[in-house]
Structure 1
Amino acid sequence: MADSSSNGTAAPAAPAAAAAAASDPKSSFLSIYSRLKSDLLHDSAFDFTDDSLQWIDRMLDYNVPGGKLNRGISVVDSYKILKEGNQLSEDEFFLASALGWCIEWLQAYFLVLDDIMDNSHTRRGQPCWYRVPKVGLIAANDGILLRNHIPRILKQHFRQKPYYVDLLDLFNEVEFQTASGQMLDLITTHEGEKDLSKYKLPVYRRIVQYKTAYYSFYLPVACALLMNGENLDNFVDVKNILVEMGTYFQVQDDYLDCFGDPEVIGKIGTDIEDFKCSWLVVQALERANEDQIKTLTENYGKSDPTSVTKVKEVYKDLNLQAVFMEYESTSYAQLISSIEAQPSKAVQEVLKSFLHKIYKRQK
């Protein structure tokens, strides 16, 4: 890879990038993507042809920067809070952003392969990458490339840092946890005949925690902690809080999929049609009588509007909206209590910033 410095430390970001981040964090974060992509397109480990350069350039632009970028930007935000109000240097802003982009690369890798496994049609308002003409199952190898770009970025910019090995270990562990969660999701929801009897709360929680919570909530904060010189072994309680927060986030997401206003949440929910192991159906199965279970069994996972309406009627008859409100209130109180028990005020602020972003989604 074309290195910007002989000792592997990062060169400064564009002038005033850190200052600009305060007024427009997303644009500032996006500016770092272009540099990281350029580094990858000049990686000396591979003799690129013009065709391969064009392919990777297009593949990256299509899959990496198109989402909300919440996970990546959270690294920068968390590191700023840990710095306790001190202005980030250009170098610190670049490094925090680079780690944030590593998480966005990880997300892109998961989504490219997940869409193939789920036979999905669209992602972020455009055709899934594997459905783009002339891409097809080349997308599987593109997913592998996306995953391999992460250690290339880390080697380029962090190999002289004392926490370099810890970063590699962190990304490897979280990737394993996420892939294992995906495996559990697939064998629970997609293997053989549709079987609602598998949809139990312990299974749901395990899928959510491993498939979503570790990489979406713990990983950004762990990256910021490592940059701040911390030992992650001292933050097991913080990890547990963030994983529980990730569960809370997914429960809320499942609720909004059914009961949220599409104009507010930005999508039309399809969990019922897709036979998802949703918190709502798990709760319904725990509370339903024989007739209601029969209705769910006959209609859950079907795409016709009549079946979807029948499922939603069962949810309303079981008053799952009130069940969610009670869950949300209890979970929020427990999370706040756990957060306020943390000895570091800065860590408390990081955790509260995550929690408040989730809580505001349907307010």
Structure 2
Amino acid sequence: MANPLAKFREVFPVLAEDLRSICAEQDNLPDQVWQWFEKTLHYNVIGGKCNRGLSVVDTTQILLGRDLTSDEYFQSATLGWMIELLQAMFLVLDDIMDGSTTRRGQPCWYRQPDVGMMAVNDAPMLESAIYLLLKKHFRAHPAYLALVETFHEVAFQIEVGQTYDMLTERAQNLAEFDQARYGTIVTYKTAYYSFYLPVALALQYTGRATAGNLRQAKEVLVAMGQYFQVQDDYLDNFADPAVLGKIGTDIPDGKCSWLVVQALKLCTAEQHAVLRANYGRAGECDAQVCERRVKDLYSELGLDSVYHEYEERTVAELREKIANVDEGEGLRKGVFTAFLDKIYGRKK
């Protein structure tokens, strides 16, 4: 049986060639520019787990209830790679704004010696590739306009989430770090594009994007996306960076993360003072010492156990939501079960 990820990756060179043809042949792009764009594509789009992209293929197959034809596989995988392009754009910019050092086990794109702040222009080029590919492969599809609008809407949601995240980080006011603010940030910044988008695209592609199906998908998947981001925040602190593929920066960057929100609920006045003195100290000479103090406080507060209790409670609630999904208009409960099975108990 073919490895799903390997099969999915076989589609990317075809799409890269499509982009080369569009850019170099149709638009007469100079060779030097295309070569740079190609380098940008391969460095930033390839190398991830591709869970979001694969989810479009998996969802399409579950919705249709059968194996996909070669054309159906290619088209659903193409939509999946568009999500990977969207994520690549977001990660390039996110790493610059966070001052991150590694991504997927290698230096961040902007930290490449010949890249630097050229990455600011490379990021929107990655997003533009989505619309070039949509036009080439889906212009005749009945859902073409809906697909284009969905990508534009979700891209804006990511940007809104990033803005709220950075405004919160800039304020450096722990009094504003609460569950409501955290939930809003992660809904816009992560949940829509990581969970809702793959299913919305599959529903549109298969002609099942009724208002009821989209509403149900959003209700379940936004909640699942919030759970996923809580996992990310937990792993940022508790996972081995070698396994995670990146070095966590939430504490020195002063992020409104799930862990600090929980710590603020549980800490004493003395522990609160430790947080105030040490949280969000990126760029300071003693930043590593400050980060270690916060990590020690997290352990002292038992946040590892708090997280695992949260995970079991949340997964039970998600399973209940899935059980209540109405399949009358072609939506399938298995779509959501497949997502949950992929992320429950993940280590990276």
Q: TM-score, with normalisation over the residues of structure 1?
A: 0.87
Q: 1:229 to 1:287 in 2, by over 3 A?
A: same
**Residues 265-294 of structure 1 deviation map (CA, whole Å, 9 limit, x = unaligned):** 455544223322210111111222211100
1:301 matched to which residue of 2? 280
Select which of 191, 196, 199 maps to 1:218.
196
In structure 1, runs of 5+ residues without a counterpart are 1-21
1:205 is aligned to 2:183: yes
2:255 matched to which residue of 1? 276
Select which of 143, 146, 163 maps to 1:163.
143
In structure 2, runs of 5+ residues without a counterpart are none
1:127-206 maps to which residues of 2 (within 5 A)? 127-189=107-169, 191=170, 194-206=172-184
Q: Is the 8 A contact 2:88 2:126 kept in 1?
A: yes
Where does structure 1 differ by over 6 angstroms across 4 or more consecutive aligned residues? none
Deviation at 1:362, TM superposition (A): 4.2
Amino acid at match of 2:113: P
SS in 1 for 2:5: helix
**Residues 190-242 of structure 1 deviation map (CA, whole Å, 9 limit, x = unaligned):** x25x3222211111111111000100111111111112111242220221110
2:74 matched to which residue of 1? 94
Q: Is the 8 A contact 2:101 2:247 kept in 1?
A: no
1:126 matched to which residue of 2? 106
Q: CA separation in 2, counterparts of 1:253 and 1:202?
A: 18
Deviation at 1:258, TM superposition (A): 2.3
SS in 2 for 1:23: coil
1:70 is aligned to 2:51: yes
Q: Which moved more, 1:116-125 or 1:226-235?
A: 116-125
Q: CA separation in 1, counterparts of 2:237 and 2:94?
A: 22
1:230 is aligned to 2:208: yes
Amino acid at match of 1:162: P
Amino acid at match of 1:275: G
Select which of 80, 93, 97 maps to 2:61.
80
2:220 matched to which residue of 1? 241
SS in 2 for 1:229: coil
Q: Is the 8 A contact 1:167 1:223 kept in 2?
A: yes
1:354 matched to which residue of 2? 339
Deviation at 1:65, TM superposition (A): 1.2
Deviation at 1:180, TM superposition (A): 0.4
SS in 2 for 1:272: helix
Amino acid at match of 1:180: V
2:299 matched to which residue of 1? 316
SS in 1 for 2:67: coil
SS in 1 for 2:251: coil
Q: CA separation in 1, counterparts of 2:110 and 2:317?
A: 42
Deviation at 1:60, TM superposition (A): 1.0
Select which of 1, 7, 25 maps to 2:4.
25
